[in-house]
Amino acid sequence: MSKILKIQKIEKYYGNKSSLTKAIDNISFDVEEGEFVVIMGASGSGKTTLLNCISTIDKVTSGHIYVGDEDITKLKGNDLNRFRREKLGFIFQDFNLLDTLTAYENIALALSIQNKSYKEIDKAVHEVANKLGIKNVLNKYPYQMSGGQKQRVASARAIITNPSLVLADEPTGALDSKSSKMLLESFNYLNEKLNTTILMVTHDSFAASYASRVIFIKDGKIFNEIIRGDDTRKEFFDKIIDVVTLLGGDVNDAL
Ligand X SMILES: Nc1ncnc2c1ncn2[C@@H]1O[C@H](COP(=O)(O)OP(=O)(O)O)[C@@H](O)[C@H]1O
Among residues 15 and 81, whose Cβ is nearest to ligand X? Answer: 15
Among residues 109 and 222, whose Cβ is nearest to ligand X? Answer: 222
Are 130 and 124 contacting, i.e. CB atoms less than 8 angstroms apart?
Answer: no
Give Dmax over CA atoms of the chain in angstroms. Answer: 57
Residue 59: closest CA among 31, 24, 18, 16:
24
Residue ranges in 12-51 that form contacts with ligand X under rule CB under 6 A: 14-15, 21, 23, 41, 43-49
Residue 41 beta carbon to Mg ion: minimum distance, rounded to whole angstroms: 9
Stretch that binds Mg ion, among 47-55, 65-73, 97-105, 227-235 (CB under 5 A): 47-55
Q: Is 58 left (phi over 0), alpha (psi -120 to 50) or beta?
A: beta
**Contact between 52 and Mg ion per CB under 5 A:** no
Helices (H), 118-208: 118-132, 147-159, 177-194, 205-208
Residue 162: which of ligand X, Mg ion, none does it interact with, CB under 5 to 8 A by kind? none
- CA atoms of 12 and 117, how far apart (whole Å): 41
Among residues 58 and 122, whose Cβ is nearest to Mg ion? Answer: 58
Residue 43: which of Mg ion, ligand X, none does it interact with, CB under 5 to 8 A by kind? ligand X
Q: In the 8-state DSSP scheme, what is residue 135?
A: G
Footprint of ligand X on this chain (CB under 6 A)?
14-15, 21, 23, 41, 43-49
